[in-house]
């Protein structure tokens, strides 16, 4: 296995390719539904928009990976053949945030679900303190309230007492 150059496995490149495939899949599946217009969105409008954006982000990630590889030699992370341990904190917190949104959203409404999801996901970054995660969560609750509850009239209750 090569340790430098374009032949080395690159997680940014692999992640970018996965994002492109996911985005294209969502776009193709969403285009099977009525798209509607910006003023009167159909069921397929948002999946097509988000799928296209996800694919574009994936393409940008792949392009940045190739640009970085072409510019300089890649430093090895450790001794030859040594695989660094996987840090499971970030993926676990992100999945936990999604699960929290689903569980809390059904029982308590949009605002508590958004707070729980953002707070848990933000703790996936080791540099975030619980205070910083809570402030970020509060800010996004305000944004979600303005955009989804008041702006778009989402039928999910803002706060619901169990």
Structural domain boundaries in the chain: 11-71, 89-151
The answer to whether residue 72 scores a pLDDT higher than 60 is no
Percent of the chain with pLDDT over 70: 84
Q: Give the predicted TM-score (pTM) of the model.
A: 0.54
Sign of CA dihedral 76, 82, 85, 86: positive
The answer to whether residue 162 scores a pLDDT higher than 70 is no
Cα distances (angstroms) measured from residue 135 to each of 8, 48, 71, 131, 159: 40, 32, 39, 6, 19
pLDDT at 2: 44
DSSP β-bridge partners for residue 41? 36
């Amino acid at each position: 296995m090569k340790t430098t150059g374009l032949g080395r496995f690159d997680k940014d490149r692999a992640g970018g390719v996965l994002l492109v495939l996911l985005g294209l899949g969502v776009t193709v599946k969403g285009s099977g539904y009525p798209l509607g217009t910006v003023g009167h969105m159909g069921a397929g409008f948002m999946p097509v928009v988000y799928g296209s954006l996800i694919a574009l982000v994936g393409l940008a990630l792949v392009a940045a990976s190739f640009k970085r590889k072409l510019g300089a030699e890649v430093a090895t992370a450790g001794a030859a053949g040594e695989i660094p341990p996987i840090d499971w904190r970030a993926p676990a917190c992100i999945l936990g945030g999604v699960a929290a949104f689903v569980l809390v959203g059904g029982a308590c409404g949009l605002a508590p679900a958004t707070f729980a999801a953002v707070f848990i996901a933000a703790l996936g970054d080791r540099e975030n303190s619980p205070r910083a995660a809570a402030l970020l969560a509060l800010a996004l609750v305000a944004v979600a309230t303005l955009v989804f509850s008041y702006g778009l009239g989402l039928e999910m209750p803002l706060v619901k007492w169990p």
